[in-house]
Amino acid sequence: MSDRGARTGEAAGASAAAGPGATSVAAEGEALHGSKDYWDLVLVQLKRKPSVILAAGGLVFLYAVAIFAPLLANDRPYLLEATDAESYRRAYTSLVPISLNLRGMIGKGEAGHLAQQEVRREQLLAAGQAADDSSLPGWGEALASEGAALRTRLDTMASQLSATDAALLDEMIEAVDATVVAGASNAADAADKAGALVELARRIKDERKAALTGTTPEPGATVTLLPTRQWPLIDSLTRAEIYFMVLWLGVMFLPVWNGAVNRWLLGADRERIRGARRFKAAAMVIVPLLAALLWEARDASFETSPYKERLTSGEITADRVVFAPFAFGFAEVNDGEYFRPPTWHADSEITEEGYYARGARAESLDTVVGFRPPPKPVADRAGEPSRNATIRHPLGTDSLGRDLTARMIWGARVSLSVGLVSTILLVLIGVTLGSMAGFYGGWIDVIISRVIEVVQCFPVFFLILIFVAFTQQTGIVPIMVVIGIFRWTGVARLVRGEFIRLRGQDFVLASQALGVGDFRTIFRHVLPNAMGPVLVAATFAVASGILTESALSFLGFGIQLPIPSWGSIVNESKAAEHWWIQIFPGALIFITVMLYNLLGEGVRDALDPRLKKA
Amino acid sequence: MATYILRRVLWMVPTLFGITLLIFCVMRLAPGDPAALMVTDVSSGDAVSGAGGGIEDAITKFHKKWGLDKPLLVQYWIWIKNMAVLDFGEEFTRPGVQISDELWRRLQVTVPLTLISVLLSYLLALPLGILSAVKQGSWLDKITTSGLFMLYSLPTFWAGLMLILLFGASGFDLLPIMGLHDKDASQLQGWDYIWDTILHGILPVATLTYGGLAYLSRQMRVGMLEIVRQDFIRTAKAKGLPAKVVVFKHALRNSLIPVITVFAQILPVLIGGSVIVEMVFSIPGMGLYAFEGMIKRDYNVVMATTTFSAMLTMGGFLVSDVLYAIVDPRISYE
């Protein structure tokens, strides 16, 4: 471990040179709590650089935006306290028909049902379809499913009625259960019970008619609907989303909880804090995992939701509705607002009738010629800022009238994850091949070095482009893999060089003399000493991965998911008149890449302080 | 020296073999049959014409016409045999058009652009790097370093689009943004024609240059900083030599050596970037040719352009290695 010792000395020397205040703290810490290891010192170096703090903070923020995207930009409301007259009406009107059907089944009896099933079976077989138990339920099952249909409708209605109004419904639920039980056991009074059920359904139809258009009472309405409380946005979160959200809360509040644990639980004892590191790391993985396992998504995550339309048309009457800060979904299309400039810009003004007041689109109203059809009038919709509000589309809209802010927030998921995952992949490949070439030398080295040379001869971007274009891969995973497998050569060369440098050193010879296997020598002894440069290269590789993906998507060969990447948003229009589509997503790519490069520079300076001026 | 160059050229043979093999594998073994893609994508044209027996028949005809029905090894052999005499075959989508002719036309655009951009980055990067290294820590150094750092992080396509917005008709309306010539350029004479070309070239060259410039001057600065710390510089200063002599005679010459190899690193980036730059500015060069080939799914065009760009890159490597051996003769004896 002589090398590690030497490097630690260097780093300590650099920290001593950097500033007197910091030195005394470090010296004090060492005197009190024993030695710090190499990475401790690197961390101290990193924390002292404002540029690293800025870069790390900025990246944590960007990843937070990506992970919490559904909470920031969504067309589902967080909270909806509303009366849903439409679903009440649907349940209400189908009560009597279903009850009649149930009575009819009981009237025919089990024998009648079986005979009918036999006919149906022959029909199915004739049509060449499978005729098994699922398509031909038995007597008891058939009755139970009718009963269940009635129950869900009664529950839907009861949830919006006061307790007194719902009493009649409870009565009917009991009647349904009794009828189904009696019918299944072919009891003598089954037909009577079914008859009573139909009577009850008719009574409900007469006495529980609601004001179906919400607040305005309809003639003959006998009850008023009470609002129910729903959480549509929260319900639509998936397990994976919950995992990353909890994980990222842990990362963002790391200083807070870490400090608290160190102070109150571990008594600020340095040795105990070091011992607890692995438990903290485990907690960071396990706690989000548990949260995700306990979570149950209650709403299949569709790209768009009908809430805004239903609220606007009056199908749902809301007492209280809370939308996300940006009340637009990433796939929410709005025909009238296509290519609308940012709403703080004068050109985006819309008249009373809902047409553009000025700019290129206004003219198309008057001129008959030209390819642009007159836009549909833009209507005010529930939950959205009004038509001319400055915050409506702060970054404009795209060719389908989708809000650019929402798309950029969701697009962060694609852009950031492609950079990260492709880098993990290229580091794995590069480290494996590079360490093999550097450690073993000989013909293994010759082959691997040749391969590296061949791949490096290519303009890598060209190669990735033709591969993506001709395999017609537009999924997120293939793009990550392709970027990873064509960009590993830099890391491999780096690791190979480090291994050649370290191969002959005493600590490697010692471990080999002790009979330690190659695998263990490589991964436990040599590799940790070569990780510094790899870490630096990986940070820069994330930046170039993001650049590569955005350029691919810009050319139209990248990821084509419902969720866009920043590059594919720019691809929506290259016309200069749609300047907002080009400026904003590109600027975000620029900023992200710069933050990663800033971080990489900081890490490199911390690992190799020689180039700093003393 | 001659033996070194000879050895270096001989080493290129297996690399060239590897390059052609890799391209062939990527193009031929990737899922998707070129014939099926052509026949289904291109509703009219030579591939389908005269095919009475439907798509299957058209595919067989297509295979036969382009030799795709032969075993893969035979196809590969024919391909590299033709390429050895720079015959890249005909375009799939425009039969009769020789790719080598078209490529030659396109290279007359791309190669000058690339060379100018390399030259510019060296001309600008060396003084910038030296200046910020000599005046390390000064305001000048801080401003140039952070400015170059930002340039280094700028996505090429976005830089091009922003230049268009800024200097094009929607901005200050100072420079032409499309193509290499005006529509009526053929009527221009002598200097006017050259001036027109220069005006059209400014934005693309700027877009192509800034990345290499930023990388190069950062390398230059780091190299100078390392050299400045060496013992022989201290000796030179101790002898009482003027600062100018120390910087330009002792430090600069030594720090130039690693910068020469950077040439080999920025060349592939430039050639890859030419796809984006030529597409953004609608310049009919090799990059745009490759891009059109990809859009039209023309396997022959894409294979030709990719191989040729790899060969260009390899030529660049050779030049930089030879230059390196000239400035540092120890290399050729190793």
> Bridge-partner residues for A317, per DSSP?
A83
Which pLDDT does position A6 carry in this prediction?
38
Q: How many domains does chain A have?
A: 3
A-chain CB neighbours of B272 within 8 Å are 459-462
Instruction: Provide the pLDDT for residue A368.
Output: 47
What is the rounded average pLDDT of the residues B30-50? 56
Q: Are A105 and A183 in contact (CB under 8 A)?
A: yes
Nearest CA among A567, A573, A574 for reference residue A550: A567
C-beta atoms of B155 and A589 within 8 A: yes
A121 domain residue, yes or no: yes
User: What is the CATH architecture assignment of B101-327?
Assistant: Orthogonal Bundle (1.10)
Could you tell me if residue A36 is inside a domain?
Answer: yes
**A185 and A117 in a common domain:** yes
pLDDT tens digits, one per residue of B71-125: 888 888 888 888 888 888 888 777 778 888 899 999 899 989 999 999 999 999 9
Mean local confidence (pLDDT), A428-454: 90
Whether residues A18 and A90 fall in one domain: no
Contact across the interface for B276 and A555, Cβ inside 8 Å: yes
Say which range, A72-76, A485-489, B19-23, has the weakest mean pLDDT: B19-23
* Any A CB within 8 A of B259 CB: no
SS (H, E, C) A194-243: HHHHHHHHHHHHHHCCECCECCECCCCCCECCCCEEECHHHHCCCHHHHH
Q: What is the pLDDT of residues A495-536, one digit of tens each?
A: 998 888 888 888 888 888 888 888 888 888 888 888 888 998
**Do A42 and A90 share a domain, yes or no?**
no
Q: What's the pLDDT score for residue A33?
A: 45
How sure is the predictor about A61, in pLDDT bands with cuts at 50, 70 and 90? very high
pLDDT confidence of A584, banded at 50, 70, 90?
very high
The radius of gyration of chain A from alpha carbons, rounded to an integer in Å, stands at 33
Q: Which two tokens stand for residue A483?
A: 């970027």
Average pLDDT value for residue range B249-275: 82
A555/B275 CB distance under 8 A: yes
Q: What are phi and psi of A317, to 5 degrees?
A: -110, 115
Q: d(Cα A498, Cα A490) in Å, to the nearest integer?
A: 13
How would residue A593 be classed by pLDDT, with cut points 50, 70 and 90? very high
Nearest CB among A462, A470, A577 relative to B275 is that of A462
> Which pLDDT score is estimated for A8?
37
List of chain B residues whose C-beta atoms are within 8 Å of the C-beta of residue A471: 30-32
Residue A479 within a domain: no
* A17 and A57 within one domain: yes
pLDDT at A246 exceeding the cut of 90: yes
* A546: pLDDT strictly greater than 90: yes
DSSP string, A492-512: HHHHHHHHHHHHTSHHHHHHH
Range among A155-159, A160-164, A399-403, A567-571 with highest mean pLDDT value: A567-571
Predicted pLDDT of residue A83: 81
From A294, A313, A330, give the residue that closes a domain: A294
Which pLDDT score is estimated for A408? 94
Q: Average the pLDDT over A213-230 and give the result.
A: 68
Residues of B in contact with A459 (CB under 8 A): 268-269, 271-272, 309-310, 313
Please indicate, yes or no, whether residues A91 and A203 belong to a single structural domain of this protein.
yes
For residue A231, being part of any structural domain is answered with no
Same domain, A152 and A206: yes
DSSP B63-79: HHHHTTTS-HHHHHHHH
Q: Would residue A63 count as lying in a domain?
A: yes
What residues of B are in contact with residue A587 (Cβ under 8 Å)? 158
Residue A262 has pLDDT above 50, yes or no: yes
Residues of B in contact with A490 (CB under 8 A): none
Among B15, B164, B272, select the one facing A459 at the smallest CB separation: B272
Dump pLDDT digits (tens) for B111-170.
Answer: 899 999 999 999 999 889 888 888 888 898 889 988 998 998 999 999 999 999 998 877
Q: Is the pLDDT of residue A477 over 60?
A: yes
Yes or no: say if B1 and B332 are a contact pair by the CB < 8 Å rule. Answer: yes
Which among A251, A267, A294 is the end of a domain? Answer: A294
Q: Which domain holds residue A55?
A: 3-67
Percent of chain A topping pLDDT 70: 86
Query: Which among A232-246, A380-394, A471-485, B45-59 has the top mean pLDDT?
Result: A232-246
CB pair distance less than 8 Å for B165 and A576:
yes
SS3 A78: strand
The β-bridge partners of B145 are none
User: A131 and A57 in one domain?
Assistant: no
Please give the residue that has the higher pLDDT: either B39 or A21.
B39
**Most confident option among A229-238, A415-424, B172-181:** A415-424
Q: A203 and A96: one domain?
A: yes
Residues A43, A147, single domain; the answer is: no
pLDDT exceeds cutoff 60 at A295: yes
Q: Are residues A44 and A145 in the same domain?
A: no
pLDDT of residue A11: 38
Query: Which member of A466, A576, A593 has the closest CB to residue B306?
Result: A466
Among residues A525, A497, A495, the alpha carbon closest in space to that of A510 is found at A525
User: Are A171 and A102 contained in the same domain?
Assistant: yes
The pLDDT, as a whole number, for residue A134 is 66
Measured in angstroms, the CA of B169 and the nearest CA of chain A are apart by 9
**Mean pLDDT on B260-269:** 81
CA distance A429 to B183: 50
Instruction: Give me the pLDDT at residue B30, please.
Output: 67
Tell me which residue in A463, A554, A593 faces B157 most closely, judged by beta carbons. A554
Interatomic CA distance for residues A338 and A524, integer angstroms: 58
pLDDT tens-digit series, residues A344-395: 888 888 877 777 777 666 655 444 444 555 567 777 788 888 888 888 899 9
pLDDT given for residue A362 in this prediction: 60
Predicted confidence (pLDDT) at residue B53 exceeds the cutoff of 60: no
Q: Report the mean per-residue pLDDT for chain A.
A: 82
The mean of the pLDDT values for chain B is 83
Distance CA A171, CA A156 (A): 15
Confidence of residue B251 (pLDDT cuts 50, 70, 90): confident
Q: Among residues 179-218 of chain B, which lie with CB inside 8 Å of chain A?
A: none
Mean pLDDT of A242-260: 93
A469 occurs within a structural domain = no
Is residue A409 one of the residues assigned to a domain? no
CB-CB: which of A469, A550, A597 is closest to B153? A597
**Chain B: closest CA distance from residue A590 (Å):** 5
Give the predicted TM-score (pTM) of the model. 0.82
Predicted-complex ipTM score: 0.87
Q: Which of A455, A547, A611 sits opposite B225 (nearest CB)?
A: A611
A445 domain-assigned: no
Average pLDDT over residues A188-215: 77
Could you tell me the pLDDT band of residue A26, with boundaries at 50, 70 and 90?
Answer: very low
Q: Which residues in chain B are contacts of A542 at CB distance < 8 A?
A: none
For chain B, which residues make up each domain, given as ranges? 2-84, 101-327
Contacts of A598 in chain B (CB under 8 A): 149
At residue A609, the pLDDT reads 59
Residue A613 confidence (pLDDT) above 80 = no
Whether residues A100 and A182 fall in one domain = yes
